[in-house]
Amino acid sequence: MKEINDSEFDDFVKSNETVIIDFWADWCGPCKMVAPIFDELSKEFEGKAVFAKMDITENPNTPSKFGVVSIPTFLIFKNGEISGELHGAMSKPDFKARLNELF
């Protein structure tokens, strides 16, 4: 799972066709609950999307730019442009179903 930072964000989302970014923080309980699910889904969606994580505590600029006010927030980018977003911790079946709707 790739951890990205503010300085590499733009290049990262532009260099991959479909990207899902998990905006999280170490102090966030729901973020910790959904982290293993996000990791499992990254393997299941391999070839369809690139999954990455961004710690909002260490990288405040990008979350602010996209209006991320609660975490976990998952932003989906297609060809460098935001195409969807999901909020909050979800069960794996719910998360997977919502991602399938966006693809």
- Among candidate residues 31, 41, 49, 86, the one labeled active-site is 31
Overall residue count recorded for the chain in this entry: 103
- Among candidate residues 20, 21, 28, 86, the one labeled active-site is 28
Q: Is 9 a catalytic residue?
A: no
Nearest CA to 96 out of 48, 55, 56, 53 is that of 48
Helix (H) or strand (E) holding 27: none
Q: Is 92 a catalytic residue?
A: no
Q: 73, 23 in Cβ contact below 8 A?
A: yes
Q: Which residues are catalytic?
A: 28, 31
